[in-house]
Structure 1
Amino acid sequence: MFSKVSVVVASVLITLAAAIPNTIPVTPPTSDQCCGSVVDSSSTSAGAVLSALGIDLGGINVPVGLSCSPITVVGNNCGGVTTRCDAPEIEWGGLIAINCIPITA
């Protein structure tokens, strides 16, 4: 009797686990960048780079960094805008980084 109950309970738990959707948000990797400038993705300059690279942001307006390079040394003197970006520079060869938020501290 006990073994039948444990099989039923295990079956119910497995079924529930399979039925629950995976809703854990996936956070994109971030990296600190030194960008030449940070502009809205709807700007002409960002639009030119985005279209040249075949990137479609689906009509969303996010800050993008142009001419970015990674900051790899603590205390690095960035001659541009120090930012933290969602998409690392390696994906687009330093031309553009997505969702760049300036670091002020």
Structure 2
Amino acid sequence: MFSKLSVVVTSVLITLAAATPTTIPVTPPTSNQCCSSVVDSSSTAVGAILAKLGIDLGDITIPVGLDCSPITILGNNCGGVTTRCDAPEIEWGGLIAINCIPITL
């Protein structure tokens, strides 16, 4: 009797575990950048640059780093704003970086 009950309970638990959706948060890769400035994407200057690059952010307002270069050596040798930005799938020649949050190294 108990062996049948344990088989049924185990089967139910396995079925529930398999049916439970799991979500793994996907975050874009980030990188440390040295940017000359960080401004909102809603500014007219950034809007013009984004338009020339063919990037449409819609109504999303995010911090955009201007004139950015990757920081490869640890230390605070950045002459501008040290930031952590989303690594773009396409490189824009250091012109901009998306979603830049100022950090302290």
Scaled to the shorter chain, the TM-score interval is 0.7 to 0.9
**Is contact 2:66–2:97 with CA below 8 Å preserved after alignment?**
yes
Matches within 5 A, 1:1-105: 20-85=20-85, 87-88=86-87, 91-93=90-92, 94-105=94-105
How many residue pairs were aligned? 103
Identity of aligned residues (%): 75
Unaligned 5+ runs, structure 1: 1-5
Residues 103 and 18 of structure 1: CA distance in aligned 2, closer, same or farther (over 3 Å) = same
Larger radius of gyration: 2
**Is contact 2:88–2:98 with CA below 8 Å preserved after alignment?**
no
Give the structure-2-normalised TM-score.
0.74
Q: Deviations over 1:44-71 (max 9, x none)?
A: 1111111111111131111010110000
Give structure 1 regions of 4+ aligned residues with deviation exceeding 4 angstroms.
11-22
The one-letter amino acid of 1:31's match is: S
- Residue 73 of structure 1: how far off its partner (Å): 0.7
Residues 15 and 57 of structure 1: CA distance in aligned 2, closer, same or farther (over 3 Å) = farther
The one-letter amino acid of 2:74's match is: V
Give the structure-1-normalised TM-score.
0.74
Unaligned 5+ runs, structure 2: 1-6
CA RMSD of aligned residues (A): 2.6
- Residue 76 of structure 1: how far off its partner (Å): 4.7
